[in-house]
Structure 1
Amino acid sequence: MQIKYFLQGFLFGLAYVAPIGLQNLYVINTAILKNKSAVFKTAIITIFFDISLALACFFGIGFILEKFQILRNIIMLLGSICVIYISISLIRTTPDKIGETKIDDESILKIILNCFVVTWLNPQAIIDGTLMLGGIRASLIKDFSNFFIIGTSLASFTWFSSISLIVSINKSRFNAKILKIINLVCGFVMLIYGFKLAYNLIVNII
């Protein structure tokens, strides 16, 4: 019986995290354009924040954001600023310079901040996650709900570690032109998302 809920949680976790979003864009971009140390750190830290977000949604933190509008607005403001900053940095960076980056140049604090931004500074993702995970939790037998969220957490670890490894191994197949295009696409998609957050903030305030 436990394995049934574990597998359900694992499959749900894959379906939840697999669609291209800020996290995936950032992890893929890092795997292609950064050194192995940065790729490993980014994968592990992203997994940590993604699992922590899933746990928070599973236990209902979205309710807090819905109840306290000021807190939600603050998160949206910080999220829009940080995402716009990261996206502009991606757009302005050239593949040749990234390829020459030294391991020491990739600050662990910067990686932590970036992973936190693309995971946690998205109130809509928290609320949507709460509705899905919270709804599923309410439908599960209490004694087996933990097995479901463990499966979901393992799916996050499996997904981000796999795409980091696969993309990093095959990044030699990308030439400078392709790398620049990927950089621009990731940057502009994140930029649009950052402006969308800012727009939603303005709408909420008005």
Structure 2
Amino acid sequence: MKLTYFLQGFLFGIAYVAPIGMQNAYVIDTAIHKSRSITLKTALITIFFDITLALACFFGVGFFLEKSILLKNIILALGSISVIYIGISLIKSVPDDLNETQINESISKIIIQCLIVTWFNPQAIIDGTLLLGGIRATLVNNISNFFIFGTALASTAWFLSLSTIVSFNKNRFNKKILRIINLICGTIILLYGVKLAYSLFKQFF
């Protein structure tokens, strides 16, 4: 029975992170344009924030955002500005030779960017709380631990696989394909940022 709930958590986790979103777009872009060491760091940091977000949702942190309108609006404002900036930067970037784009980035910059594309989205926290919190409500305590462990493992497997596969195959991409990927990833992230800004706008109008 415990294995069954673990597998259910794993499958849920894959379904939860697989759709192309801010995290996937950022990891894909990093894997294409940066060195493998930077890509691995980005994947691991993204995994950390994704798992902590899942745990927060599982234990109902979204409840506090619902109760604190000020906190929610602050996160929306900072998140929308930061996400829009990242999206525009990707759209405007022109890919050069891959060997020239593998610029070392500070660990602090990677952490901040991974934090932005994961945690600076209160809607994701609230939606995650409804999904994971709702599932947790149907599970007894000792079983729920296996479910969320499966979810966490799914996040780890997904982002490590995605970053590794893209990183090892990036040399197959020419500049035109890289430019298209930049536009797609940047547009996805930009749209998320606009969505956050719109959510903030609706709070006042």
TM range (shorter): over 0.9
Aligned to 2:40: 40
Which amino acid in structure 1 is aligned with residue 145 of structure 2?
N
- How is 1:110-121 mapped onto 2 (pairs within 5 angstroms)? 110-121=109-120
Aligned to 1:188: 187
Shift, 1:98, TM fit? 5.9
Using structure 1 for the length normalisation, give the TM-score.
0.96
| 1:113-170 C-alpha deviation (Å, 9 max, x unpaired) | 1100100000110000000000000001222110100000000000000000111111
Q: 1:183 to 1:102 in 2, by over 3 A?
A: closer
Which amino acid in structure 2 is aligned with residue 13 of structure 1?
G
Shift, 1:97, TM fit? 6.1
Bigger shift: 138-147 or 151-160? 138-147
Aligned to 1:10: 10
Bigger shift: 73-82 or 105-114? 105-114
1:73 and 2:73 are equivalent in the alignment: yes
The percentage of counterpart residues that share the same residue type is: 67
- How is 1:150-165 mapped onto 2 (pairs within 5 angstroms)? 150-165=149-164
- How is 1:165-180 mapped onto 2 (pairs within 5 angstroms)? 165-180=164-179
Q: 2:83, 2:30 → 1: CA distance? A: 15
Using structure 2 for the length normalisation, give the TM-score.
0.96
Q: Give the 4+ runs in structure 1 shifted more than 3 A.
A: none
Number of matched residues?
205
| 1:164-195 C-alpha deviation (Å, 9 max, x unpaired) | 01111111110011101110111122112211
Shift, 1:63, TM fit? 0.3
Q: 2:54, 2:175 → 1: CA distance? A: 36
Q: 1:109, 1:98 → 2: CA distance? A: 23
Q: 1:91, 1:99 → 2: CA distance? A: 20
Q: 2:137, 2:64 → 1: CA distance? A: 18
Aligned to 2:204: 205
Secondary structure at the aligned position of 2:80 is classed as: helix
Which amino acid in structure 1 is aligned with residue 180 of structure 2?
I
Shift, 1:205, TM fit? 2.2
